[in-house]
Structure 1
Amino acid sequence: MPYDEISDLRFFTMLIEAGSVTAAARSMGTSPAVTSRRLSRMEERLGSSLVVRTTRHFRPTETGRVLYERGVQIVSDVDKLEDEIAQANQSPQGSLNIGAPVELGRRQIAPFIETFSEKYPKLSLSLALAGEGLHDSTDCLDVILRLGMPDTPGAIVTLLATTRRVLCAAPSYIERRSLPQTPHDLSKHDCLCLRRHKTMTVLNKWVIGDDEKKDIVTVHSRLSSTSCEIIHDWALSGRGIAYKLLCDVHHDIESGKLARIFPDLYGEKTDLYAVMPSRQHASVNVRTFLHELREFLRNTGGF
C-alpha cells in the first residue's frame, strides 16, 4: 500500500474519531476547509461516499464504517512495524533486571551476563536469585527465568532451552561404594534428595532410562535439603549420588569432579522458560538479551 494511502487511512480514522470536520481540523492543526477538501479527494479516489455530513449529523456511511474499522487495524500494524524496525536499529541501553533460580543463576546466567554487559556498556544489568518458582509478577523484574512451564496470567512466555536430569557422584564416593549395576541398585546407595519447601516432602522417586524404557526408582535419602546447591556441594564432597540437572553439573563432569552414573541414561526432561510482563515483550533490551542467551545456552554444555 503506497504511503499516501496509509496517510489517508490515518487521516480518516482521526476524522471519524474526532466526530466532526471542525474538531478533526483542530486536532490536526489545520483548517476545516483543508480537512473537508482532503475528505472529498479520498471519496473521489475511492468512488464512494464515506461520511454523511449535514448541519446536525456527522457519521460514516456503511463504506466509511468498513474503511474505518479496517483502517484502525492497518494503521496500528504499520505503527507497530515501524516501531519494531526503529527498535531493531537501537542498541540496548538503560537497565534490565533479571530473575533466575539460585543454582542456574550462579553457574550459567551470571557468567553470561558478564560477557553480555561487556558487549553493551550502556546497559545496566541486575541479577536477582531466588528459590525455584519464588519470583513472581509482583517483583520489579523485566525477565524471569523459570525451570518448568510457569503459570503466570497476562505474561509472555518463551522457551529458551531444554535440559535433562542425570545421575552423578564424586569419584571418592564411587571408589568407596562402587558403581550401581542397574537403576534399581540405587535403592542400596546413599542418595542425595531434594525436599519441597514448606511441606518438606522428599523427592525420592527418580525416573531414569532412555527413549524406549524408563524406570522409576525409590531411593534412600541419606541426606536431603530444600537447596539444589547444597545437594550439589554434598555430591562434590562424596556424600552420595545426586539426581541433578545436566546444565548444573556439566562443568564438574567435564573436569572430573563428578562422574556420570549410567551415562547412556537420562532422567526427566526440564524446559527453561523466560517469563516477561507483556509490556516488556517488545523491549530492545529484553529481545537482545533473550536472543543472545538462547545462543549461549545452545553452545554451552548441559542443554
Structure 2
Amino acid sequence: MNDSNDIRFLLTIQEAGSLVAAARRLGLSPPAVTQRLQQIEKRLDTRLVDRTARRLRFTEEGLLLCQRGAHLVQQFDTLFEDLQSRRGGLVGTVRVRAPLGFGRRYLASVVSGFQHDHPDVDIELTLTDQPLTESADRYDVVVHIGELPASNLIGYAIAPNARFVCASPALLKRVPNLETPDDLAHLPCIVLRENNEDASLWQFRKGRTARSVRVSSKLSCNDGEVIRRWACEGRGVILRSEWDVADDIAKGSLVRLLPAWKANDADVIALTHNRAGLPARTRQFMQYLQAQFRPQPPWRS
C-alpha cells in the first residue's frame, strides 16, 4: 500500500459500518467497493475485513492499518495545508461532530459563517445524540456538553452553561411548592437519555449540602427538543441545559424551580486530537467557534 487514498478508503468503510453505506458515501456501486477492497488485500497479502451478509468486522491487521493510517493521513493533509496556507489561504476539510439540538440551534450558523469566510474549506457537520462514541476519532472537532468522561482528546472551553430544573406554569398549579430536591421524587418528571448517563438520577448542591434524587419518569427521549416541548405542555418537570430553556423561561413558558439548589454545570467544550500539529483550518475554526460565544453566550445575552 503506497497510496493514502487506500487508507482513506478503508477509513470510510470503518466509519460507514458496511460496504453498502460506504458505497453511498463514495459515490460507487457496492460491487466496486468490494472489488477495490479485495485489490488492497491482495496487494498486502492479508485479510483486512471479514464480511458476511449481515455484518462487517475489521481484522486485527485492518484495525491496525486504520488506527495508524488515520494519523498518517492527518499528517499528510496538515503538511500540504501548511504549504497552501503560506500562499495565503485555508484549504481542506474540517469534520465536526456535535449534539443534535445544540448543533441545530447554534452550530449550524457558525459552520456556515466560517465556510463563507473561507470558501476553499469544506466542512462536514454531523449531528448526533451521542457525539462521544468510538467514531468520534474520525472527526477534527467534537463538540460536547457536560462532564467529559475519560478521554485522550484535548478540550477547549467554548461557553458556560448551567442546568435548570423547569416546569410549565400549568403543571405548577397542580403540585405543591418545592422546597428541596427530595420533593422531585413525588412529581412527574421527564428525562433525557444521552451519552449513556444515568438519566433519572438528578444531583444538586446548596453550599456544602449535596442531594441526589431518583426521579420517576413516564416520558423519556433522546432528543432534548422533545422533552422541552413536553415540559412546556405541562407533562412533567425537566432538568435541562440553560442554552435550551433560557428563552422559554424569559417568555414564561417554563418556570425555573429550586433556584437555590445548583445542578451540575454542563459547559460547552470542543475536543480535538492534540494541541500541536493541528491543521491551520482546524485551529482557525476553533478560534472562530470560541469567538461566537464571547464575551457572553447568546442564552445569557
Q: Does the alignment reach a TM-score above 0.5? A: yes
Q: 1:138 to 1:218 in 2, by over 3 A?
A: closer
1:3-36 Cα offsets, whole Å, 9 max, x none, are xxxxxxxxxxxxxxxxxxxxxxxxxxxxxxxxxx
Q: Which residue of 2 aligns with 1:183?
A: 181
Query: Cα distance, 1:218 vs. partner?
Result: 2.4
Q: 1:217 to 1:156 in 2, by over 3 A?
A: closer
**Paired residue total:** 219
Q: Which residue of 2 aligns with 1:249?
A: 245
Asked if the contact 1:194–1:202 (Cα under 8 Å) also holds between the matched residues in 2, the reply is no
Alignment of 1:85-100 (within 5 A): 90-100=88-98
1:132-173 Cα offsets, whole Å, 9 max, x none, are 2454356642211123324444x4443333422210122332
Partners of 2:238 and 2:108 lie apart in 1 by 23
Partners of 1:85 and 1:244 lie apart in 2 by 45
1:282 counterpart letter in structure 2: L
Task: Tell me whether 1:227 sits opposite 2:223 in the alignment.
Answer: yes
SS in 1 for 2:253: coil
Query: Cα distance, 1:281 vs. partner?
Result: 4.9
Alignment of 1:69-218 (within 5 A): 90-137=88-135, 140-147=138-145, 148-153=147-152, 155-177=153-175, 179-195=177-193, 203-218=199-214
Q: Which TM-score applies when normalising by structure 2?
A: 0.60
Q: Which residue of 1 aligns with 2:291?
A: 295
SS in 1 for 2:148: coil
Partners of 2:129 and 2:256 lie apart in 1 by 25
Query: Cα distance, 1:204 vs. partner?
Result: 2.1
Asked if the contact 1:166–1:244 (Cα under 8 Å) also holds between the matched residues in 2, the reply is yes
Bigger drift between 275-284 and 183-192 goes to: 275-284
Partners of 1:86 and 1:196 lie apart in 2 by 40
1:114 counterpart letter in structure 2: S
Q: CA RMSD in A?
A: 3.5
Q: Which TM-score applies when normalising by structure 1?
A: 0.60
Query: Cα distance, 1:186 vs. partner?
Result: 1.5
Q: 1:262 to 1:103 in 2, by over 3 A?
A: same
Query: Cα distance, 1:293 vs. partner?
Result: 1.6
Query: Cα distance, 1:128 vs. partner?
Result: 0.1
1:194 counterpart letter in structure 2: L
Partners of 2:265 and 2:162 lie apart in 1 by 4
Partners of 2:101 and 2:297 lie apart in 1 by 16
Q: 1:211 to 1:289 in 2, by over 3 A?
A: farther
Asked if the contact 1:190–1:241 (Cα under 8 Å) also holds between the matched residues in 2, the reply is yes
Partners of 1:138 and 1:204 lie apart in 2 by 26
Q: 1:286 aligns with which of 262, 282, 288?
A: 282
Partners of 2:87 and 2:255 lie apart in 1 by 46
Partners of 1:241 and 1:138 lie apart in 2 by 32
Q: 1:84 to 1:127 in 2, by over 3 A?
A: closer
Query: Cα distance, 1:90 vs. partner?
Result: 4.7
SS in 2 for 1:239: coil
1:175-212 Cα offsets, whole Å, 9 max, x none, are 343642332221221111234688xx863221123344
Query: Cα distance, 1:129 vs. partner?
Result: 0.9
**Structure 1 unmatched ranges of 5 or more:** 1-82
Partners of 1:88 and 1:211 lie apart in 2 by 53
Q: 1:183 to 1:150 in 2, by over 3 A?
A: closer
Query: Highest Rg: 1 or 2?
Result: 1
Partners of 2:207 and 2:84 lie apart in 1 by 46
Bigger drift between 241-250 and 85-94 goes to: 85-94
Q: 1:258 to 1:145 in 2, by over 3 A?
A: same
Partners of 1:253 and 1:280 lie apart in 2 by 42
Query: Cα distance, 1:85 vs. partner?
Result: 12
| Percent of residue pairs bearing the same amino acid type | 27
Asked if the contact 1:132–1:146 (Cα under 8 Å) also holds between the matched residues in 2, the reply is no
Partners of 1:177 and 1:136 lie apart in 2 by 43
Query: Cα distance, 1:283 vs. partner?
Result: 1.6
Bigger drift between 83-92 and 238-247 goes to: 83-92
